Amino acid sequence: MTENDSPTYRVGIVGASGYTGAEMMRLLAGHPSFELVLATGDSKAGTAIADLYPSLAAVYRDRTFDAYTPEATDGLDVVFCGLPHGISQTVIPDIRGRAKHIVDLGSDFRLHDKELYPQWYGAEHTCPELLADFVYGLPELFRPQIEGAELIAATGCNAATSILALAPLLDAGMIEGQGININLITGVSGAGRPPKPNTTFCTVDEDVTAYALLTHRHTPEIEQALTERTGVDTTVLFTPHLAPMNRGIIATCTAKATGASSTEDVLGALADFYADEPFMVVSERSPSTKATLGSNSVHLTARFDPRTGQVITIATLDNLMKGASGMAVQNANLAVGLPEATGLSSIGVYP
């Protein structure tokens, strides 16, 4: 089946008024098989989409954000949940069974172990019985589980960048799983649309700061996915930094090499692992965030340092695309049986 003769799937977004929701609406406007029939906005219900996001005005000219009710999702083929942490676990039990597939962009169902939520998120999970029913939504590593899945927990933006940078080298046995260091820089849109004291223009402009030292919520997600996919018990020290840019992530990861190696070897391991992946770009070039802007691509490189015996691997992606909405669409394509690249571009916007 090609994109031109595929059926139309009716989809909805619960939590469409945030940045990930806006990006989702942009992607769905150009998707040949997904028809957006529901876009809820909580406090923005009744507000014109074009008033909140003029960039979408050409497509959503007179459309307003819908009010949310569980019944509004009845019969939909896919529901995307673009809600803050802690909200999806109160919504999804009510809409499960109403829609055929649910893709949660939040973090409520990414971790398998319910005991990790109080430790990393500061609260007990309200429906831990559903954790085992969700598959982890990182297609390049868990594609077989995602295909046809009813419930998908899309990967976090910081986690996706880090996991995709490290998985091939762990899988090839080239690096140790213990004591991996991840230093990551992210744009401000990752903090969401509502204003916060630490994300206002005057706070972030001309400043770079590290945050969530030793406590960032994506840490156990990174460890879980790498351990599960590669079979190597993995622990990471994850340190994110906030930079004065709208969107984009760059992760620089260092790990101890397991033996003699070379830059050619580690680059080859990345290239081999992602040889058939439409959105993965491996080269000797040092990746830049702007190269991935507006695309669903990930750019990667790696080096072996014989002086220290360390391997360095670097990845970049657009946090609102491959790190959120693009990733969600890729997952949904797999869930309904479409080619996974449908409606997604691997080409960035420049300058």
Cα gap 241→43, rounded to integer Å = 30
Contact 231, 173 (CB under 8 A): no
**Rg of the Cα atoms in the chain:** 20
Q: Token pair 């990345």 is at which residue?
A: 270
C-beta contacts of 64-68 below 8 A and 24+ residues apart:
65/16, 65/17, 65/39, 65/40, 65/41, 66/38, 66/39, 66/40, 66/41, 67/40, 68/14, 68/40, 68/42
| Tokens coding 168 | 């091939």
The Cα–Cα gap between 134 and 92 comes to 11
CA–CA dist 219, 238 (Å, integer): 6
Q: Could you give the residue numbers annotated as active site?
A: 157
